[in-house]
Every structure is written in structure tokens, then in C-alpha cells.
Amino acid sequence: MSLLKKLDEDLKTALKNSDKLKLAVLRLVKAAIKNQQIDKGRELQDEEILAIFSTLAKQRRESIEQFSRGGRNDLVQQETRELEILQTYMPRQLSAEEIDAMILQAIQESSAKSDGDIGKVMKLLAPRVKGVADGKWVNSRVRELLHG
């Protein structure tokens, strides 16, 4: 079943079950997909839809960070629940150990030695972790491993 069809089925189920939060999140996703389809003038592939999910998840993570700093725990909880819903449609996220192994391999492949080589490492890593890890976190982890 395509991701779009699964989304439609889950939207109907959320509507029937009166799951307001899931319904709101799925409607937001559907609107983002529709906007992309209009921009591109065609139906989106599953990979493109997953990219939309990744973007929306990244926005939620950034909001959680901001709301945490501002002491808005109510909004942190809301954004966290929305993020959990989005993540059910995304591929399994890599564990910290898996990411560290990939980073160490990329450091070795690129012969990186200092902070100036982060770009080389990230160039190798970015396609490998796309959609399965947060790029911002990976970047900071690369920095830590190059220092340590």
C-alpha cells in the first residue's frame, strides 16, 4: 500500500474514532503533500512524501527545543505527541550506536582530522542518514567524535 493511501485510511480512522490530535496532524500532512503536488504539477512518490514527514518532524523537534527553553511544558507535550504521530510513518530511526559507527567509518573514509574536515564527513554521511537520523544531531556528533 502506498504511503498516501495509508495516510488516507488512517485519516478516516482518526475521524471515526474522534482522535482530534491525530486528525489535525494528518490533515496538516495532507495539506503539505497537496501543496507539493501543486508546485510540482504531479503526484508525489513515497520518497518525496517521506521527505515531507521528515521536514514536519524536524519542525516539531525544533519547537520542542524552543518551548522547553521557554518553560512551556504544555506546548512541549503537544509537540511531542505530534512528533510521535509523524514518526509512525517514517522509517525506523537509527540508534546512537549505529550513527556513531557510520560517523567513524565516514571519518576514516574522508581522512578527517579536525573541525575543518566536518564538511567532508557530512558530505559522505548526509545521503546515508537522510530520513533515518536528525542531521543537526549527526553534525554535532561528528564534531564531538572529531574532538575526542
Q: What is the pLDDT of residue 54?
A: 86
Low-confidence ranges of the chain (pLDDT < 50): none
Whole-prediction pTM value? 0.74
3-state secondary structure 13-43: HHHHCCCHHHHHHHHHHHHHHHHHHHHHCCC
Do 77 and 118 lie in one domain? The reply is no
Q: What is the pLDDT of residue 62?
A: 92
Do 106 and 41 lie in one domain? The reply is no
Q: What is the pLDDT of residue 18?
A: 93
Chosen domain end from 87, 111, 127: 87
Split into its structural domains, the chain has a count of 2
| CATH code assigned at 33 | 1.10.1510.10
| CATH code assigned at 137 | 1.10.10.410
Do 17 and 60 lie in one domain? The reply is yes
Q: Which domain holds residue 102?
A: 96-147
Quick one: 39 exposed, middle or buried, by C-beta within 10 A (0-12, 13-18, 19+)?
exposed
Do 65 and 125 lie in one domain? The reply is no
Do 79 and 34 lie in one domain? The reply is yes
| Residues shown for the chain | 148
Q: What is the pLDDT of residue 46?
A: 83
Q: Which of 142, 148, 143 is nearest to 125 (CA)?
A: 142
Quick one: 56 exposed, middle or buried, by C-beta within 10 A (0-12, 13-18, 19+)?
buried
Q: What is the pLDDT of residue 148?
A: 67
Q: What is the pLDDT of residue 1?
A: 61
